[in-house]
Each structure stands twice: as structure tokens, then as C-alpha cells.
Amino acid sequence: MFEVKPYPEFSWSLSRHKTLMECPRKYAYEYYISHNGWLKDSSILAKDAYRFKKMTNLEILFGSAVHDLILVVIEQYLKSGFIPPESELTQRLRSKLNSAFIDSKNRPELWRERPNHYHMLHEIYYNGVLPQDKVDEIQKRLNVCMGNFLTSKTFTDIREKKEMQFVEAERFRFMFVDGVKIFIVMDFLYRDIIEGKWIIVDWKTGKESFEDRYQLALYALYLQKVLKVKRIEEIVIRNEYLLTGTHKTYQLTETDLLKVEELLGMSVEQMHRFLEDIIQNQPLNFNQFHKTNTIKKCDRCNYKELCDMY
Ligand code: SF4
């Protein structure tokens, strides 16, 4: 039977770490206050925080729609050998964006009631409209992403290389490090048997940016700990840039792994400082999660309305 727990289970992820670094108050909303906010008899604050946690924005929505669709196309191809045409894939993405726009504009009450089933875009909730420059940018991405996916190095390998071992196409994975559950979001993983390499693929729907080596090192740590890959030289990380149709590969070192383990330890310790009870994962009083002083962060934050009230 579904058990209602007063506090969520403690786990670590890079995005959780980044949220705490960005703003402790946001971290509180996201990882504690919103807990149980989906239940009918939870407090108004928990319900509000949960609703805002489910809010999205145009770039995030587009990125996650592309990732979900790619996963479906790969799974379908591996099962049946069928590849839908690019125009159909682009249309599926467009429909998803349109439906989120319609939800946000015309069904705010439904989102309020069931934030898990309806979309709300941050841009529309807080400003009433989608900024034209963002719409133009997403339109540009929409026109090229699925075509670039179909001709990408990774999808070409999937179609053409015979000596491949595909590990289940599961995006959310976890491992335990020193008894702490660590979540890792990995887009796609396969093994080139001839070259003796594990290839971790990251689909990028935005512009090329300075790569987050911690994220890459976490992937490698997962392969070593869970899949028992012995040598770091056997692991290749590939970023596929869907906007430009290019890719880059990275080779990590043992030092990268040591650094990420160090970050993990320090970050968990920092998170524990916000707990009243570590075993229960019971947080400190809400007021002890201070707000950021950087107004820019607040402008793009989902919880802005709550912060104006509390
Ligand atoms: S609105 Fe600002 S202070 Fe409030 S949670 Fe968001 S980032 Fe933090």
C-alpha cells in the first residue's frame, strides 16, 4: 500500500547540488516543502510549492520533449527497425509545444488542480506572453534538431554497426556511494565491442557551452561502480549537438573521478547542515533556508510568487 511519509527520502544529484548553490530557499521548496504537495489534505504551502515545482519554461520543455522523443525513436528502432520520417518527428515536437502553450494560456485552473497533468510555462504565468526572441530561437531549434539526430554519429552507429551492445535506454539511474543514493541522468549508453569502449551519449539541444566535467565524471563513476568497468580509458563520453549536427568526445582521467567523489562528499555534508534529523531527512525550519540576494536568479525562478508572500 502507498505509504505517506512525513519527509522525502534523501538522495543526491548534481541538479540538487546546483539548486542548493543557487538559492537555499529554492532548494527548500524543491526538495522538502513540495513533498506530499500532491495529497488532498496537505498544507496550502506544500500544494503551492509542488505546483511551482511542476512549472516549466520554453527551453526546458523543448529539451525534455526532444530527449523523450529520441528515446522513443531509438527503442522503436531497436525493436522493429522502423524509423519515422523527420517531418513526422518535428511535427510531434511541435504538437507538444503547442499543447503546453494552450494549457498555459487557457487552462490555468486545471494546472492549479492537477499540475502533474497540465503544463504551465513560466513565461506565460509571470509575464502573460512568450517573448518573441525565445519563440524564434525555439523555432530555429525545432527546424533542425530531429534531422540532426537522424544523421548523428550515435544514431548512425545504432543503425550500421553490428558489434554493439545496447544497455537499456533508461535515462534515470542511481548508485550508492558511501550509503548515499546518487541519481544520474544519462541519455544513452552503448558498448562498441570491437573497439572495447563504453560510449555515454548526451544529447544537447542548446548551444555548445563549457562542459560540466562533474557531470561527465559522474557518468564514468557510475560505469565503474555499477557496471564494473575497470579502466577509465574504456569510457568515452560523447556530446551530440543537435543544433549544429556536430559531436564532441571526452576522455576523463582518474583525477576527474577523485574530484567528483570529493565534491559529492562535501556537497552531502553541506546538505546535511540543513537537516534537523539526518536519519529522517527532516529539514530545519523553513526560515533557515535563506533567500538569494541575486535578483536575476529570482526573475527566472518558479517560486517567485511564493517568495513574495513568505
Ligand atoms: S524567488 Fe529568488 S529567493 Fe525565492 S526561491 Fe527563487 S531564487 Fe530563491
Ligand 1 atom with the shortest distance to the CA of 304: 1
Cα–ligand 1 centroid distance for 210 (angstroms): 25
Please report the pLDDT score of residue 300 as a whole number: 95
Cα–ligand 1 centroid distance for 34 (angstroms): 15
Residue-wise pLDDT for 182-193, tens only, equals 999 889 999 999
**What distance in Å separates the CA atoms of residue 190 and residue 164, rounded to the nearest whole number?**
7
Cα–ligand 1 centroid distance for 70 (angstroms): 33
Please report the pLDDT score of residue 265 as a whole number: 96
Positive or negative, the CA dihedral 172, 144, 240, 89 is: positive
Cα-based distances in Å from 124 to 128, 130, 230, 310: 4, 6, 49, 23
Domain boundaries, the chain: 14-152+296-301, 155-265
Residues of the chain with pLDDT under 50: none
Name 247's bridge partners: 240
DSSP-assigned letters across all residues of the chain: -----SSPPP-B-HHHHHHHHH-HHHHHIIIIITTTTTSTTS-HHHHHHHHHHT-B-HHHHHHHHHHHHHHHHHHHHHHH-----HHHHHHHHHHHHHHHHHHHHH-HHHHHH-TTTS--BHHHHHHSS--HHHHHHHHHHHHHHHHHHHTSHHHHHHHH-SSEEEPP--SEEEEEETTEEEEEE--EEEEETTTTEEEEEEEE-S------HHHHHHHHHHHHHTS----GGGEEEEEEETTTTEEEEE---HHHHHHHHHHHHHHHHHHHTTEEETTTTEEPPGGGSPPPS-HHHHHT-TTHHHHHH-
Please report the pLDDT score of residue 168 as a whole number: 67
Q: CB within 8 A of 134, min separation 6: which ones?
A: 58, 59, 123
**Ligand 1 pocket mutation, candidates 19, 21, 25, 286, criterion most atoms within 8 A of CB:** 25
Single pTM value for the model? 0.93
Ligand 1 atom with the shortest distance to the CA of 292: 3
Please report the pLDDT score of residue 215 as a whole number: 86
Please report the pLDDT score of residue 146 as a whole number: 98
Ligand 1 atom with the shortest distance to the CA of 301: 6
**Ligand 1 pocket mutation, candidates 122, 125, 301, criterion most atoms within 8 A of CB:** 301
Nearest CA to ligand 1 atom 7: 298
- What CATH number does the domain located at 155-265 have? 3.40.1350
**Ligand 1 pocket mutation, candidates 32, 303, 310, criterion most atoms within 8 A of CB:** 303
Nearest CA to ligand 1 atom 2: 298
